[in-house]
Amino acid sequence: MSGGSDTSRELVSELAALLGPEGWLPPDDIADRLVDFRGVFTGSALGLARPASTDEVSVVVRTCAAYGASVVTQGGNTGLSGGAIPVGDRPTVLLTPSRMNAIEEVNTARSTITAQAGVTIQALQEAAASADRLFAPDWGARGTATLGGGIATNAGGINVLRYGSMREQVLGLEVVLADGRVWDGLRALPKDNSGFDLKQLFIASEGTIGIVTRAVLRLHPLPSAHRTAFVALRSLGDLDALFALARARPPGALSAFELIPETGVRQVVDRFDIVRPMSTVADWYVLLRFSGEPGVGDALIDLLATASDDGLIVDGVVADSTPHEDNLWLLRDELTATRSFGGFGVKYDLAIPPDRIERFLTLASAAVAEILADALSYAFGHVGDGNIHFTVLRPDGDDRDLERVAPDITAAIDRIVWDLGGTISAEHGLGRELRSRIVGQKPEIEFELMRTIKAALDPDDRLNPDVMLPDPPAR
């Protein structure tokens, strides 16, 4: 069936009747959902479906299929690769599980939490904490990003170092498939070798093969103590040695290790209600946290003393109160180029083997300077996982020159990343933005296998078309 305008009108009136005024919003009411977080992608849709249950998600998907329309799923719209924006000519319904935001069970005996896909990451953290447990995934968009979006992008954040990313938390999933059938895989078994582990297919699949509607997730013991420190590195070359030292004492206590540039500190202190952590100024800082037993505070202080004796750091502070600690983590949350510079620049979410981060930053900054002399190379990130958020900016905010040379900068960065054995998408997914750039980075057979899975689960390419999967090579 074609997606002509009469057909689209029929589809819209059927969905509006099925879902009611709470469940269906016309395009004029959803302008903010048709632009992505960074303002890079703008899309259009026949309307926004807001189903209230898994059955309603299934009905929406079936109805769209009957009318030949695509379905793009959107959670909190905080994704950074454009995967949640319906771009293209096909008639498309935008679907969000925002009304499906119930936390159904916190099971302390099993240490699991079961929730619907539209719940926010922060709500999961709070529900776990009130049962004396930790829901570990945590990142700056926690108040808006949803469970479904976090699973679909396999989001990570500051605790990956110790607890792993979303993939390590998911024990079971419920998914609505492209033909509307519901797969109930909500099992909470830490061990289950009864065939393919299908839930893994849907984690990081960016809405391309199914819509996550519910999940059961692992909880962890709430650490009885934690301490945060902010240290000034003598030089970036000492990062690796500090990381090794921090990881070794006491084993497992290091739960976050974030690289922070002075350029970022200056910006966020100027722009927001954030106090400069120390008077010492260095080019690079590390924000690190130890969590676990009450002794971790002493261990952290001891680490700082050793790092100072070894000449790795020139100064450091250990947070001695909750507001002090909050100030340090707020500084980290506001470091994105969008927040700290009020602009977007050209951004890269890279993973580099941790021992090659200094080399990467040296090579990448030199490559950028050669292409556009007055551009600023801005880097921060979860370096304990090898994850660098690298942004190229014009500090004066005039991005015109930058736009012109952005393809050259991207080609240079990609080459350096690949040469160093890294990846161009550490945690934000491929979305619309990176799906072509990933070609050449992995063996073509991996893309063939991915396309085979997509064709098996969504043969008519209805779910998030043109997201994540690169086009097949021209024959």
Which residues are near ligand FAD by CB under 6 A? 37, 72-80, 83-84, 97, 117, 139-141, 145-146, 148-150, 152-153, 155-157, 206-207, 211-212, 336, 427-428, 431, 464, 467
Beta bridge partners of 135: none
Nearest CA to 186 out of 210, 214, 218, 211 is that of 214
Q: Which is nearer to ligand FAD, 25 or 80 (CB)?
A: 80
Q: How far is the CB of 283 from ligand FAD (least distance, A)?
A: 23
Q: Which is nearer to ligand FAD, 115 or 361 (CB)?
A: 115
Q: How far is the CB of 374 from ligand FAD (least distance, A)?
A: 27
Q: Which is nearer to ligand FAD, 162 or 428 (CB)?
A: 428
Q: How far is the CB of 139 from ligand FAD (least distance, A)?
A: 3
Q: Which is nearer to ligand FAD, 149 or 297 (CB)?
A: 149
Q: Which is nearer to ligand FAD, 25 or 145 (CB)?
A: 145
Q: How far apart are the C-alpha atoms of 180 and 164, rounded to whole Å?
A: 31
Q: How far is the CB of 103 from ligand FAD (least distance, A)?
A: 15
Nearest CA to 75 out of 156, 144, 158, 154 is that of 144
DSSP state, 33?
Answer: G
Q: Which is nearer to ligand FAD, 67 or 139 (CB)?
A: 139
Q: Which is nearer to ligand FAD, 86 or 297 (CB)?
A: 86
* 140 to 26, 204, 240, 301, 330: CA distances (angstroms): 30, 19, 25, 27, 9
Nearest CA to 382 out of 393, 390, 373 is that of 390
SS3 call for 176: strand
CB 125 within 8 A of CB 145: no
Amino acid (1-letter code) at residue 31: A
Q: Which is nearer to ligand FAD, 19 or 412 (CB)?
A: 19
Q: How far is the CB of 73 from ligand FAD (least distance, A)?
A: 4
Q: How far apart are the C-alpha atoms of 288 and 318, rounded to whole Å?
A: 10
Nearest CA to 302 out of 246, 373, 240 is that of 246
CB 375 within 8 A of CB 392: yes
Q: How far is the CB of 33 from ligand FAD (least distance, A)?
A: 9
Q: How far is the CB of 34 from ligand FAD (least distance, A)?
A: 12
Q: Which is nearer to ligand FAD, 26 or 143 (CB)?
A: 143
Q: How far is the CB of 342 from ligand FAD (least distance, A)?
A: 14
Strand segments, DSSP code E, in 192-261 are: 210-218, 220-221, 225-233, 254-261
List, in order, residues 6 or more apart from 367 with CB less than 8 Å away: 409, 412, 413, 416
Q: How far is the CB of 303 from ligand FAD (least distance, A)?
A: 24
Q: How far is the CB of 305 from ligand FAD (least distance, A)?
A: 30
Q: Which is nearer to ligand FAD, 32 or 396 (CB)?
A: 32
List, in order, residues 6 or more apart from 297 with CB less than 8 Å away: 225, 227, 290, 318
Q: How far apart are the C-alpha atoms of 363 and 412, rounded to whole Å?
A: 10
Alpha-helix residue ranges (DSSP H) falling in 206-321: 239-248, 262-271, 296-309
